[in-house]
Amino acid sequence: MNKTSSSLAKALLAQTDLINSTNGFMPFHEGEALAESLFNLGLNSAMPAVEIGSYQGLSTIFLGLAAKMTDRALIALDHHRGSEENQAGWQFHDSSLVEQVSNRMDTLYLFRRTIDLADLEKTVVIVVAESSAFARLYPGEIAYLFIDGGHARDIAHSDYDNWAPKLAEGGVMAIHDVFMNISEGGRAPYELYLRALSDNFVELRSEGSLRIMQKAP
Ligand code: MG
């Protein structure tokens, strides 16, 4: 481990309590790999990183710390209404997240709390929107893309269609929940991974269900 990545490891360690108390679906070793991939990115720090699918902010802590330490903005994009698998009747539903007036899920206030507790309010730009709607408004290049939004096939593929082309050459894309075996989880993230490999992405690292790839320069 070089000196700079040991400072990242130290910063992550300092957030252990918050990481352990934040609800989400990312084991520490995957979060650490995610953070390292953003931390080690060589591209101009004026270009932001984009996270699609923030939920309550667990993965955002990892990415946010790496972004903060490298002076890069992290756009955290989520409609905060929960993905398909978070809705009532599905495996990952948490009924305490249903807002009483709309009777719909609302994870925004919990997400904001996480960002505040992690001291990342100056790094993380919170965008509450459909990923496709925001993609239309966002013409610029991005340096880093983390796809962890809805895992339904149409949604996952549209996240790739809308955002992968915005990645600068040499930029890095991470995809979460890549399972080759359908018994472990949905197939769509794996399909995105295959698409990326057949486009111009090169795999850098695999950690659990996380795949980290670089857009060939
Ligand atoms: Mg995930």
CA 39–ligand 1 middle distance (angstroms) = 20
- Please tell me the distance from the alpha carbon of residue 166 to that of residue 132, in angstroms, as a whole number: 13
Point out the catalytic residue in the list 79, 80, 151, 176. Answer: 151
Q: Is the dihedral of CA 93, 99, 102, 106 positive or negative?
A: negative
Q: Is 90 exceeded by the pLDDT of residue 184?
A: no
Examine the residue annotation and report whether 151 is marked as an active-site residue of this protein: yes
pLDDT at 1: 53
Give the CB-side neighbour count of residue 135, counting CA atoms within 13 A.
17
- DSSP assignment, residue 152? S
Q: What is the DSSP string of 9-24?
A: HHHHHHTHHHHHHS-S
Question: How many other CB atoms are found less than 10 A from the CB of residue 181?
Answer: 8
- Quick one: DSSP state of residue 158? H
* Report field, pTM of the whole predicted structure over 0.85: yes
End-to-end CA distance of the chain: 26
Q: How far is the CA of 80 from the centre of ligand 1 (A)?
A: 14
pLDDT tens digits for 40-94?
999 999 999 999 999 999 999 999 999 999 999 999 999 999 887 787 777 778 8
State the pLDDT at residue 97.
85
Q: From the CA of 168, how far away is ligand 1's center (Å)? A: 24
Q: What residues does 124 pair with on adjacent strands?
A: 74
For residue 186, how far is its CA from the centre of ligand 1 (angstroms)? 11
